Each structure stands twice: as structure tokens, then as C-alpha cells.
Amino acid sequence: MTGRPNATRRRGAGGDLAPDAGLTLIEILVAFGIMSVVLTIFTTGLVGLQRSLRVSEALAQAQTQVGQAFARLDAEIRYAGAVRAVSLTDAGGATFPVLEWLTTAGRVSRCYRLWLYDGQLYHRTWNSAGSPGDTPPPRVLAAGLGDAAEPFVVDPGPADSDAPLKVTVSVVATAGGVGQSRERQLHQTFVLPNTTLGTRGASMDNCEDSAVTP
């Protein structure tokens, strides 16, 4: 009776490993090492991709907020009777740029103020005859902004021209931390056909008397 071959024999007649010999401990350790390297590379790339997506989303959100702020300003400032770009000083002595304008509807004059401070674009409005205590709190129109060289530029045009006055608002949308910071320059120019820089036709004096600090 012919006996069955020994299933536990690890080498054949030629000295080669039998098909059921399996893997050695060294081969298993090498496989685990290669797998660890591949997983590390994959995880690092995945984390970097997630960070990049978060930065892109934050930048897109800031850009959307600025776009909505520009749309609101376009509806308000185009009817201004007077406008000016000035600077104010906070409690710590630091100065920041401010844009102010005045609109008049019938007998009611309304003052507006727009300013960029600590990475946020603020907006405030009040009746020119009101007192500072009567003014509503400021609204944040956009956040996550950087410092622009000239956020508010008032262009009166040539002195001998009837061209309308123009106001350009520029901001820098920023997102991300150290090493992944991204920014985007955003600006909008508004045409003010009925606006003056001085006191001709409309005066900013009442707005100055009723001015409120940010």
C-alpha cells in the first residue's frame, strides 16, 4: 500500500520549499514594514488634502461675505450726497481707515460708516440728528480679512470734469494658518453720480457731531 506524502515536510527533493511551506517571520516583518510606509504616505496626503479643502472653503466663505457686502454698499452708497475717507483711533492709539457717507431722503439725513478693523469689515448707520446712544450696534459684514494698503479710496475725478465721483473699496480675503495661508484681493468701484466731497449740497458735519466710536 502506497503511503501518503508527508504534509509537514518543508522541502522537496530538490531542496526548494514545498507549496504549503508558508512565509517566514522575516518575510512577514518586511511586509508589515512596507505596509506601514504606504499607510503613512497615504495618511499624510489625506490630512494635507483635508486641510487644503478647509482653507479653500474658508476662503470661499470670506469671498462670499465680501460679495454680499459689496452688493449692500452698492444699494446704499450710490445715493449718497456726500462722502469722505478718514481715519479713526481706537482706545489703544492705533489708527484704522474709515469710509463715511450721508444720504438724504426728504427731511431725514442718514449717516453711514464703514471700517476695517481687526480682520473684520464693520458697518453702522444712524440718523444725523441722533445722539451716539441712539445708534444701533455695528454689524459685521465680512470676517477673515487681511490688511489692504488702501481699503477706501475716494476719486473725485478731474477738477474740470463733470465725471461722477467714484469710491473704491478693497479688501484681502485670507484663510489658513502658518504654512498654508492663502489670500485673494477683492475690490469694487462704486459710481456716485450725486455725491460731493465737500459741503456743497450735503454736509457731513452732523455725522461728525453724532459720530460713534467703533
Closest CA to 195 of 161, 155, 152, 164: 164
Q: Is residue 189 part of a domain?
A: yes
Q: Is residue 38 part of a domain?
A: no
Kindly indicate the confidence band of residue 206, based on its pLDDT and cuts at 50, 70 and 90.
Answer: low
This prediction's pTM: 0.68
Measure CA 22 to chain center: 59
Q: Is residue 4 domain-resident?
A: no
Query: How many domains does the structure of the chain reveal?
Result: 1
* 41-50, 70-79, 141-150: least confident range: 41-50
Q: What is the pLDDT of residue 196?
A: 61
Span 143-196, pLDDT tens digits: 888 878 889 998 887 777 777 888 999 988 888 766 677 888 888 899 888 776
How much is the mean pLDDT over the chain? 77
* pLDDT number for residue 152: 92
Q: Does residue 106 fall inside a structural domain?
A: yes
Whether pLDDT at 78 is above 50? yes
**Domain for residue 190, yes or no?**
yes
Given a cut of 50, whether residue 210 has pLDDT beyond it is no
Is 180 among the domain residues? yes
Range(s) of the domain holding residue 120: 43-209
Task: Tally the residues of the chain.
Answer: 214
Asked if 117 contacts 93 with a C-beta cutoff of 8 angstroms, the reply is: no
Residues 6+ apart with CB under 8 A from 123: 69, 72, 112, 113, 114, 138, 139, 140, 141
Read off the amino acid at residue 132: P
Strands (E), the chain: 82-89, 95-105, 108-117, 120-127, 139-143, 145-146, 152-155, 165-175, 182-192
- How far apart CA 191 and CA 168 sit, in angstroms, is 9
DSSP state letter for 5: P
Looking at 5-19, 30-44, 178-192, which range is the least confident one? 5-19
Specify whether the CB–CB gap between 139 and 28 falls below 8 A.
Answer: no
